[in-house]
Every structure is written in structure tokens, then in C-alpha cells.
Structure 1
Amino acid sequence: MRIKPGSVTMKLLLVLFLLVISRAAAGKHSLKYFFTSSSEVPKFPEFVAVYLVNEVQIIHYDSNTRRAEPKQDWMNKITEDDPTFWDDETERLKLNQQTSKVNIKILKQRFNQTGGLHIVQVMYGCDWDDKTDEVNGFEQYGYDGEDFLSYDLKTETWIAPRPQAVTTKLRLDNNKSYQTYLKYYFTQECPEWLKKFLNYGGSSLMRKDLPSVSLLQKTPSSPLTCHATGFYPDRADLFWKKDEEELHEDVVKGEILPNHDGSFQMSVDLDLSALKDEDWGRYSCVFHLAGGQEVSKRLDKRDIRTNWKTNDGGFPTGAAAGGVVAALLLLTGCIIGLIVYKKNRPQGSSSTSKSDTSSSSGEEAMQSMLT
């Protein structure tokens, strides 16, 4: 994973990229902690922390708000068991924020840098399979868009893909007490927190709804829109494919937008101008939900909903009786969804590290990695 050095946009896109990788498979659950530390990035917090369960954001903290906050209503249940949880977590993250500044200074020295835009990212956490009870832990560090250091739980060793990380790797590999702690954390403590969060989240985290998929077209010369609505969660993809190959040319993908009922919608357009009549049956629109469930709709002129009229004033053969209503509802729904999304989307994005919600906080791991 390489990002062009000095590119603010690409580096911040990497933050978003780290949030969408490693989709959990069916039966598997994940708890991930992301920390992002930055220097001289305009209009971006110097420190951002995000916690995810099954890729759903549950906690957010940044150096502007300086407060750990729940991102799901059900996370407030945690104070029933731990009344000081939010205060304690806030203090731990404040310490991580201070440590992050030291980390960037150390890495600048390692790379013989004096100033400029730089980003340190850390991701750690664990997976748990509720069918086999198998657990796995992971910890990864990145600097300026490139891998810097990672931990292999199976071999209990650190991997240093860059020469500047070798010193840290050797020191950590020789720290047997820390290795013992990591093994305990990844195999015992982290899975316990994951199960606790899953218990708080209940049906919300387990919910999976497949969408209804429709083919829509304004006029015969307009792109064909494949629209999926009513799915949950928002960890999903919608794409066109020809035969069994996904299409990337002549395709425009829209954003995932929220519906009023808490579900989501998205669309993807296909340019039909170069499509031959005999090839229509080779195209299909595929919706893929995290966990492997899919809905596929083959391209068929009879299934296209439209509101354009033929020369005689009637609707074309194959247009659904509710085509006009469907198109208007789609337009209205997208406008409303966009307004809701822009009003409610989280301010700040996420990325990476090792600050657990237990007695051992993440700043300890960050310090031990870089010093």
C-alpha cells in the first residue's frame, strides 16, 4: 500500500481506506481500534481515535473535542456496568494524544525529516469466530501511507518492512514480558471486550437486511441506474458486471445514503450508448452485503422502470405501471437522504492503534513501539 508522499488528499484517503478493509466473514466478529496522528494537516485534528465493532463505529475521540463519545445509542448501556467508563476512556485517549506528538517527532528523526505533513497510523484489535471460538489478534503501524511495523501473533514476532523499523522490531522481540502481555491481551482480554460490546449492541450489530434492487432510466439516451434500497448495514457494494467480470469503465457509482428508517440506499449508473442489443443478457447488477450475501439482477429491458413516453403519448412496452411514481420517489428519496447524510455524518474520520478499554491503555504500546 503506497501513497504519494506530500499528497494531503491521498493520505487522508488512506485513513478512510483502513476503515473499510478486512470485512468480517459470516460467523466472525471483530473489534478494532484506530488511531491517526498527524502534523501540519490543514483542517484536520492532530489526533483521532475510532473504535469499531464489526466495522460499525462505536466510539470517537479527537483532539478538537477532547472527549470520548458514543457513536451508537446502545453504547450508553456500558455505564450500567461501569459508571466512569466515559471519563476513564477520555483520560486514556488524552494521554494517547500527547504520546502521538512524541511518536511523530521520533519518526521524523528516524527518516531524517524536519517538518512538513506527516501521518502516523495504528490499528490493533481481534477477531472472534462465534462458531469455532477461534480468536486472532493483530497490530499494525503505518507512517506517511506506508507500512512501518506489524505484529504476528502466531510467531509472536514483529515484522519490519522498512529499515527504519528494524531497531524497534529487535527491541520488542527481545522484550519477553511484553510479548507475554500481548499474547494475553489478544487471546483473552480483547475477545472479552468484543463479546461485551456485542452483548450491548445485540440485534443492532447482528442485523442484516438485503435490499430491493430496481433498474431505472429517465430517457432512452440516459444512463441506466441500478438502485438498491433498504439494506443494512452500510458495509455493502453495488456494481455492474459483464458475464462474471466486474465493470469499471462506463460506470458511475453513487454514495451510500441513509433512509428515514435507518436502512441505506445506493445506486450505480451504466452507460448504454455502446451496448449492443445481443449483449443485454450478459450484463447484470450485483449487490454484495458484508458477510457474503448477494442480490443479482440481470439486465432486461422489460424490468426497466421509466417515466418517458413514446411518440403516441403512451409509456413504452416493459415500463412498470408504477414507473413514474418510482422515479419520482427515487429522486425525492435521494435528495432527502443526501440532506440527512450531510447533517448527520460524523465530523472527522478515523484511523488506527492500541488503546484498549481496559486497565492497560494504548499509550503504553505506542511508547514501547517507537522509543
Structure 2
Amino acid sequence: MKKFVLLLLFCHVASPVRHCMKYFYTASTGVPNFPEFVAVGLVDDVQTEYYDSNTQRMVPKQDWMEKVTGDDAQYWDRNTQRALGSQQVFKGNIETVKKRFNQTGGVHIVQQMYGCEWDDETGDTYGFNQHGYDGEDFVAFDLKTKTWIAPTPQAVITKHKWDGQPGETEGWKNYLTQGCIDWLKKYVDYGRSTLLRTELPSVSLLQKTPSSPVTCHASGFYPNKIMLFWRRDGEELYEDVDHGEILHNHDGTFQKSIDLDVSSVKAEDWGRYSCVFQLSGVNEDIVTKLDPKMIKTNRDRTEIRRDGEKPSDLTIPIVAAVAVIAVLIIAGIGFAVYKIRQANSSTSSSITSETEILKPSLESDHQTDHHAHILR
């Protein structure tokens, strides 16, 4: 489910006028020191709300979320109750799918991701609703045909059951094409000071040892619609480079790195190389020349400490471990569970009784609250 995890992390946004809202739910079993159920909402990859089975409370993660709810004092209480219901349903879902795969104990995870995209310039919209199990796609909603797609035999029962509920599929279509878009527009309007801001990064060149690749590290940019690449003599390089993932910083900005293998680059040719950072909507690029004098290394750090001076920040921040927001943790665990399952368990293709089924029902007030669209 690597592609599924990546989709959870970032929306398919390619320009400042394209916005995305998504919610995902994660239920797990056998994962130590992690809540059994987590629900997270994001708008343009900014976390807006959060719930887990330990706190059992849906809470806003942005100040402007209070404006969105307006005078509705019961909004968070109501959605807390919905999350509690989802928690119980997802707990049962894990057991259902485990039976589908003839599994008993072990580490397992069920995920759902749904939401929509909207281009405020063209008016184009897109909706999505996917479910995954142990790092693999399990079942997904085709908005055009209003049918469910089952990429694995164990999901065929679910597909037939859900396809046979036209009221449910019609409800999802209405939500993904209308209700979800209305909420997204509302969020963008109230959160524009945060969501529509532009922040340029600091760019550093890092190298562990003289034989290591040179890392171009950009941190502190927003939004995440960026290009970071190495070029030589003005032409972008595609060989001898290794792209890192875009990661969240604790302050809501992003960071990304890209490595350049310099083992075959002659010393006199270093000046031909440069790292280029481009931010969507900003005309001027940030260009950093490959200059040995500008590279921060572990050796430099040791020498500074030996002199008794305060060490400078020479390493890439380990935000994934200490400051990353919950969505990255959830998606990371999803992929980790996939690797664990590959290594430690064998999968059977047999299918159990049709009475075992995931339930995607919509609640009665789904026209007013987007949280009603949950996996039930």
C-alpha cells in the first residue's frame, strides 16, 4: 500500500489555486505504544482536527477552526460521539478482514481515507474514498460509476455488499461532489491567513564525510508545492541524485532534501553544479552553488565542539521522530505494518461467509456535518 500511504500524506495539489481536504481513520492491533484508533483531518496538508482512542475527544488543531464551527457549541461533542462510534466499528473491521485472510494474532491495521479536491480557478473538483489493510489497497470507491473496486479477492464480498446499497453509494457521491466541496471552501475562506501564506526556506548544503553525497536541504517552506533539484551548467540532473520525501516541521512548514553523488565529480568542476529550490507562485528561485566552503560537515561540528564553542545545527532535523504531526505517524505505521506482515505472516486467499462485512453507512445528518461520512 505504498501508493496508498503516500496519498494519505499529501494531496494531489500542483498549484496555489488547487485545494484539498481529506480525513483518514486508522485502527490497529498489536502495535505497541500507539492508540488503537486515530482520526485526523487535514486541509491543504495542514492538520485541522484530531481524535484518538486514548483521549476519546475530537479537538481542533487550528485556531481558525473555531470560526468555522461558529455558534454551534455542540459541534465538537457531536463529532466526538461519531468518532467513538467509528472507533468501535473499525475495531470490528480488523477482526472481519483478519478472518478474510485466515489470520489470528499479530500486527494488523485498517485505514480509510476520503476527501475532495477543488480548483478555485477552474472550479474542477475530485472526490476519493479508499480503504486499506496491512499496507495494501483493500477497496476503493469509483465516483464516476458509483461502484466499489476490489483489487484483492478478500474484498470481493465487501464490493458486492456495498454495490448492492444504492442509497449509500448515492450518498457518498453527493458528499464527495457537493458537501465535501462546500466544507473545503469554508475552511479555505476561514483559514486563508494560514493556508494561503507563502514562506521561503533556508537552504543548506550538508555532507557527513568527504566521500558521502552532498545533501541540499531546504527547510521552513510553505506550501509544499515545490521543486528541489540539482543542475549542472544550467541543466537539471536526473542521474546521481536521490530525492527525499517532503516532511512536516513542527511549526506547520515543510522540509525536503536531495542528495548529489559527487564521487565522480572533479574538484575543478564543482562550480558547475548548483541546487535549485522553486516554490509555486514565487517567481524567483533560490540557487545554492556547490561550494566546498558552504558545506557543513560532521568534521566541522567536531572541531567546533573541541574549541568549546556552541555547536551549530549541521544535521537535518529529525522531525519525523519528535515533531512530526500525527498524520505522518499513522501513515508510517501503516507502511511498517505492511513490511511486518510480509516478513512474519503468510496470507491465505480463502474468503469467509458473506455475513462478515465492513459497513460504510452514512448517518442521518450527513448534509450538515462532514464527519457523518465514516466507515461504519
- TM above 0.5: yes
| Contact 1:78–1:200 (8 Å) recurs in 2 | yes
Distance 1:66 1:343, change over 3 A: same
Q: Alpha-carbon deviations, 1:58-95, whole Å to 9, x = none? A: 11111111111222222222343322211111111111
Normalising by structure 2, report the TM-score. 0.72
Distance in 2 (alpha carbons) for counterparts of 1:207 and 1:355: 37
Identity of aligned residues (%): 48
In structure 2, the residue matched to 1:350 is 330
Letter in 2 for 1:169: K
More deviation, 68-77/230-239:
230-239
Distance in 1 (alpha carbons) for counterparts of 2:246 and 2:123: 36
Distance 1:347 1:156, change over 3 A: closer
Select the residue among 331, 351, 375 that pairs with 1:366.
375
Letter in 1 for 2:134: D
| Contact 1:141–1:147 (8 Å) recurs in 2 | yes
Superposition deviation, residue 365 in structure 1: 4.8
Q: Secondary structure at the match of 1:23?
A: coil
Letter in 1 for 2:127: G
CA RMSD in angstroms, aligned pairs only: 4.2
Distance 1:344 1:160, change over 3 A: closer
More deviation, 21-30/177-186:
21-30
Select the residue among 115, 120, 131 that pairs with 1:141.
131
Letter in 1 for 2:294: R
Superposition deviation, residue 359 in structure 1: 2.7
Distance in 1 (alpha carbons) for counterparts of 2:237 and 2:361: 41
Distance 1:149 1:254, change over 3 A: closer
Q: Secondary structure at the match of 1:147?
A: strand
Q: Secondary structure at the match of 1:73?
A: coil
2:199 maps to 1:199: no
Distance in 2 (alpha carbons) for counterparts of 1:48 and 1:359: 22
Superposition deviation, residue 215 in structure 1: 5.0
| Contact 1:38–1:118 (8 Å) recurs in 2 | yes
Q: Secondary structure at the match of 2:294?
A: strand
| Contact 1:241–1:247 (8 Å) recurs in 2 | no
Letter in 2 for 1:245: L
2:28 maps to 1:19: no
| Contact 2:28–2:36 (8 Å) recurs in 1 | yes
| Contact 1:239–1:287 (8 Å) recurs in 2 | yes
Distance 1:164 1:53, change over 3 A: same
Distance 1:345 1:300, change over 3 A: closer
Alignment of 1:236-255 (within 5 A): 238-240=228-230, 243-246=235-238
In structure 2, the residue matched to 1:103 is 93
| Contact 2:21–2:115 (8 Å) recurs in 1 | yes
Alignment of 1:58-97 (within 5 A): 58-97=48-87
In structure 2, the residue matched to 1:157 is 147
Superposition deviation, residue 158 in structure 1: 1.2
Distance in 1 (alpha carbons) for counterparts of 2:245 and 2:99: 42
